[in-house]
Structure 1
Amino acid sequence: GGQKQRVNLARAVYSDRDIYLLDDPLSAVDTKVARHIFNNCVKGVLADKTVVLVTHATHFLERCDEIIVMQNGRITERGSHTELMAIEGEYSDMIKRDGNREEGKEQQKEKEEEEEEERGRGRGR
């Protein structure tokens, strides 16, 4: 998935510009590919460039130099991850909500694995 986005991103990087506007390049790829793109492209090849990254993948934000939060077309918060978490505004709320959602997914996965083990034990008797 996300082949078109990866090709477009590669073309953009190949153009060797000073400023890159990346509109959610991580949205159509799985977590592993998104991590690879972020680490090797955004924080790798483009490390010395200005990158404006629009994303819903909040787990990457703490590694960004500056975060701008917008609501209804207006900037409502601006700063580093640490600064924005300290003021406990919309950004902090969003990160906490996403963290709880991810934590819930992990707990659900653990529960499913435990249930699978129980079923396996029941069959082995």
Structure 2
Amino acid sequence: LGATKEEIEEAAKKASMHDTIMTFPEGYDTLVGERGVKLSGGEKQRVSIARAVLKGGRVLLFDEPTSSLDSGTEGEIMRNVTAATGEGTTKVVIAHRLSTVQDADDIVVMDQGKVAEQGTHGDLIRKGGIYADLWRKQSEQALEERDGKLVIEE
């Protein structure tokens, strides 16, 4: 990608991968893959996100970018990606985990290959349709997994 070491490290930090890389035997110079350090699914996703941030571009396409990550790391990464890419970048995010897209300017809900609903997170929650039902189910599941407080944001 023709990036400096500093640019690579900054992209890795935005993808919450820098600290992990620093635990590798040779840091950023460590060989990864079959003959080197093996990465987990979440680590592979974070490396892909770092590459996308580093490469830049006016349109970024993320297909289930945080499916192997916990919700805390997911939120941190998505905030960092938004901050790093700025206003002039369009991000298309395909996700089943709704928390990944809750801050999007526009959410398109597909059902059976057709657009079923469209709007912001708040609009779709207030509408009480498919998105709201999925949000409620995912929030309840997250509550069971975390033993925390259930907050449905509008």
- Structure-1 residue corresponding to 2:108: 68
Q: Which moved more, 1:13-22 or 1:27-36?
A: 27-36
Change (3 A) 1:79 1:18: same
Q: 1:14 aligns with which of 49, 54, 77?
A: 54
CA distance in 2: counterparts of 1:106 and 1:29, whole angstroms: 14
CA distance in 2: counterparts of 1:19 and 1:57, whole angstroms: 21
Residues 63-103 of structure 1: CA deviation (Å, up to 9, x unaligned): 11111100121111110111111211101111111122223
What is the count of residue pairs matched by the alignment? 107
Q: Structure 2: any 5+ residue segments left out of the alignment?
A: 1-39, 149-154
- Structure-1 residue corresponding to 2:144: 104
2:135 aligns to what SS in structure 1? helix
- Structure-1 residue corresponding to 2:85: 46
1:24 aligns with 2:24: no
CA distance in 2: counterparts of 1:100 and 1:28, whole angstroms: 19
1:22 aligns to what SS in structure 2? strand
- Structure-2 residue corresponding to 1:80: 120
Q: Which moved more, 1:82-91 or 1:54-63?
A: 54-63
Deviation of 1:6 (Å): 1.6
Compare the two structures and name the one with the higher helix fraction: 1
Superposition RMSD in Å: 1.8
Residues 6-44 of structure 1: CA deviation (Å, up to 9, x unaligned): 222222222221011100111122333222211111x21
CA distance in 2: counterparts of 1:84 and 1:8, whole angstroms: 30
CA distance in 1: counterparts of 2:44 and 2:144, whole angstroms: 31
Q: Which amino acid aligns with 1:9?
A: I
Deviation of 1:106 (Å): 4.1
Q: Structure 1: any 5+ residue segments left out of the alignment?
A: 110-125
User: Could you tell me the percent identity over the aligned residues?
Assistant: 29
Residues 45-72 of structure 1: CA deviation (Å, up to 9, x unaligned): 1232100111222224331111110012
